[in-house]
Amino acid sequence: MTGGCQLAGEVLIPGAKNSVLKLMAASLLAPGVTTLSAVPEILDVDVMADVLTTLGATVHRDVATGTMTIDTPVTPGAAADPDLVRRIRASVAILGPLVGRCGEARVALPGGDAIGSRALDMHVNGLRRLGAVVDIEDGVLVARSSGRLQGAAIWLDFPSVGATENLLMAGVLAKGTTVVDNAAREPEIADLCQFLTEMGARIEGIGGSTLVIEGVDELRPATHETVPDRIVAGTYAIGAVMTRGDVFIRNGRAEHLGIVLEKLSAAGAIVDVGGDGFRVSMDDRPRSIDVVTLPYPGFPTDLLPQIIALEAVSQGVSLITENVFDSRFVFCRELLRLGAQLRTDGHHVVVRPATQLVGASVSASDVRAGAGLVLAGLVADGITEVHEVHHIDRGYAGFVENLRALGADIRRERDAVAA
Ligand code: UD1
């Protein structure tokens, strides 16, 4: 891409990746046909569809209408294909529904993880509280329950999104009451709760940090529209600010981006909410802002690379703190190649104003880092090549096409190598 554009126009926000993958997993909770709409055209959805297919479901997707139907068998398989599971961490979301409904779930662990390691300890401990026996067998996490799971009170050490979702999906068919305390409050979890309720589940406290689930004997399939993707919406909003543009983010839910839009306003942007979305415009060099990532409603870690890219072209010094993941700053190395002035220290990064970012060849290490690098390339002088863009395909439908429609000088090279 060649930097120097001002993004202007309108972009339509699809359903959220982090919601739809869990809605798909939840379809395992009831035999019959689940229908999901606003399904984004992204790679992770394809992989999750393959996971469900290997468990015996029949998945049909109509890309033109964004609709997916999942026909779940009366007795789904227990073991997901390890190669597929290793490709997306979200596939761990099949654990709760499968053990809850069928009494057994087998999910391969990435790279020989052990139970008790940071990555899945809250999922495992929670399922054990519900009465499941959880072991590692040949690198596969196996959860079993001889009868129905038994409702219990569970306190999470940290409001983990994935653990909250797994325990919700395990609790809905358990005997008695399950309470998940210190639950994550992300809008995608409220969306999952809504879907489970439509399936016949009884959940109180939706949107809060204490979820009370009254187990039911069985659930029925439902039809549900996926909540819009707040991270995709936030990415375009930050792009509008960085390029001093003017973008209407149709179907964006401003109420899910409270602190993000507040920060963009503090940077000097004008944010107008209304008319089925919100509009972000900017006509000056952004002022620097400090950002601390936290579980929702804090600033989302999934917008960290994008906000660091913004700070790299802002005036003044900014301090960014990452509190959720420890490997996000890998992205900073690539941003340095574009001339950003920044220094990381532990989970902090200090970003100083650069006179001008300069195009270079950089590489995406994950989906959000890829988006951050593309935004940086849009304001860098000259040509920027972003490699490994298959990461971006995991979470952004039509990213290049959308940016081009907004005025960016960007193209995707054959072999999906550069954007
Ligand atoms: C989800 C999102 C991801 C987002 C993240 C935080 C999906 C598919 N992914 O990931 O985009 O960045 O929420 O908003 O929805 N942890 C443990 N033990 C556990 C579980 C988690 O230590 O049992 C740690 C993780 O290592 C991480 C932190 O808790 O440091 C947050 O993880 P979690 O909230 O579970 O994120 P995910 O569900 O994996």
pLDDT tens digits along 71-130: 999 999 988 888 888 888 888 999 999 999 999 999 987 643 334 455 889 999 999 999
Does 185 reside within a domain? Answer: yes
C-beta 324 within 6 A of ligand 1 = yes
Q: Ligand 1 within 6 A of 116 CB? A: no
Residue 209 lies in a domain: yes
Among 146, 181, 215, which residue terminates a domain?
215
136 and 103 in a common domain: yes
Q: Which residues are catalytic?
A: 113
Question: Domain residues for 344?
Answer: 8-14+229-405
Q: Per DSSP, which regions of 101-233 are E strands?
A: 104-108, 133-137, 140-144, 153-155, 177-181, 202-204, 210-214, 223-225
Q: For residue 234, give the amino acid letter.
A: G
Residue at which a domain ends, from 180, 215, 250: 215
CA of 89 to the centre of ligand 1 (A): 9
Cα(239)–Cα(255) distance, integer angstroms:
19
Phi then psi for 42, rounded to 5 degrees? -130, 160
- The verdict on whether residue 302 carries a ligand-binding annotation is yes
| Domain edge (last residue) among 215, 246, 265 | 215
Successive 10-residue mean pLDDT values, the chain, 419 residues: 96 98 98 98 95 96 96 92 85 94 88 52 96 91 95 98 97 98 98 98 98 98 98 98 98 98 98 96 96 98 97 96 87 95 95 94 94 98 96 95 98 63
> Which pLDDT value is given to residue 414?
67
What pTM value is reported for the model? 0.96
Q: How far is the CA of 121 from the centre of ligand 1 (A)?
A: 11
Q: Check whether residue 198 and residue 327 sit in a common domain.
A: no
Residue type at position 87: R
CB 362 within 8 A of CB 373: yes
Residue 47 forms part of a structural domain: no
Please measure the distance between the N-terminal and C-terminal CA atoms of the chain and give it in whole angstroms.
Answer: 6
CA of 28 to the centre of ligand 1 (A): 22
User: Looking at ligand 1, which residue's alpha carbon is closest to its atom 26?
Assistant: 119
Looking at the domain assignment, is residue 419 inside a domain? no
The two structure tokens encoding residue 70: 């999942």
177 lies in the same domain as 287: no
Q: Which atom, in ligand 1's list, is nearest to the CA of 159? A: 34
**Is 269 touching ligand 1 by the criterion CB < 6 Å?**
no
Residues 285 and 177 in one domain: no
Here the CATH number for the domain that contains residue 109 is: 3.65.10.10
393 in any annotated domain: yes
Same domain, 201 and 273: no
Nearest CA to ligand 1 atom 24: 119
Asked if residue 160 has its Cβ within 6 Å of ligand 1, the reply is yes
326 is in an annotated binding site: no
pLDDT, tens only, 12-66? 999 999 999 999 999 999 999 999 999 999 999 999 999 999 999 999 999 999 9
In the chain, the number of structural domains is: 2
User: Cβ atoms within 10 A of the Cβ of 297, count?
Assistant: 14
- The answer on 154 and 92 residing in a single domain is yes
pLDDT the model gives residue 419: 42
Question: Residue length, the chain?
Answer: 419
Domain-embedded: residue 37 = no
326 and 303 inside one domain: yes
Spacing, Cα 351 to ligand 1 middle (Å)? 26
Does 22 appear as a known binding residue? Answer: no
Same domain assignment for residues 245 and 348: yes
The enclosing H or E element of 59 equals: strand 58-62
> Is there a contact between 394 and 41 (Cβ–Cβ < 8 Å)?
no
- Where b means 16+ CB within 10 Å and e means fewer, 320-342 reads bebebeeebbebbebbbbbbbbb
State whether 197 and 236 are in the same domain: no
Contacts of 122 (CB under 8 A, 6+ apart): 156, 157, 158, 160, 163
Residue 153 covered by a domain: yes
Tokens encoding 33: 């046909």
- Which residue, by CA, sits nearest to atom 16 of ligand 1? 119
From atom 32 of ligand 1, which residue's Cα is the shortest distance away? Answer: 160
φ/ψ of 331, rounded to 5, equals: -55, -35
pLDDT at 328: 81
Q: Give the ligand 1 atom nearest the CA of 301.
A: 12
Question: In the numeric block, which tokens belong to residue 94?
Answer: 């099949």
Ligand 1 centre to CA of 311 (Å) is 25
State residue 349's pLDDT score: 96
- Measured CA to CA, the distance from residue 58 to residue 63 in angstroms comes to 16
The answer to whether residue 157 is domain-embedded is yes
